[in-house]
Structure 1
Amino acid sequence: MMQHHSSMMQMMKDDPNMMKGMMGDMMDMCKDDTTMMAGMCKKMMENPKMMEMMHKMEGKKMDMNNMEGMDHTKHH
């Protein structure tokens, strides 16, 4: 599992769009399954590299507040 994980990370680094798409899919899935979301968040919290990546992405496009269903993009 772990070596699959690292190759996935490598692919994400190489392909930011795939990363965005995956995050989008994950967010959609998580809306339906909050326990999965909690588990995922926990995993991310325990994985500094992942958190770092999330923060970088958040800077670009992803606004975690969107998960509350609010659209912050209109304010700009």
Structure 2
Amino acid sequence: MKVQFYGTQKINVDERLINMYNRKQLGIEINSCIFSDDKSKDIDEAEFLREFIEFIETKGYNFGGGFPQVDEDGNYIK
């Protein structure tokens, strides 16, 4: 094992690589509602989902979650 000094800390190179691969990946949790600026227009759930997933995939991201439809009071639409 090759030993290197970083500032005042002595750490071996193999340990740095292990730490890099064992770290937890950071992501973004989305918790919000999206409505049209036009109060007379509803957002089509299928169209929104299609466009959202396209955006996610073009960025090389992954998405895990759901898309429940809600009214303006936050009540779930069945």
**TM-score (norm. length: structure 2):** 0.28
Structure possessing the higher relative contact order (Cα contacts under 8 Å, 6 or more residues apart):
2
Larger Rg: 2
Report the structure, 1 or 2, having the larger helix content. 1
Report the structure, 1 or 2, having the larger strand content. 2
**TM-score (norm. length: structure 1):** 0.29
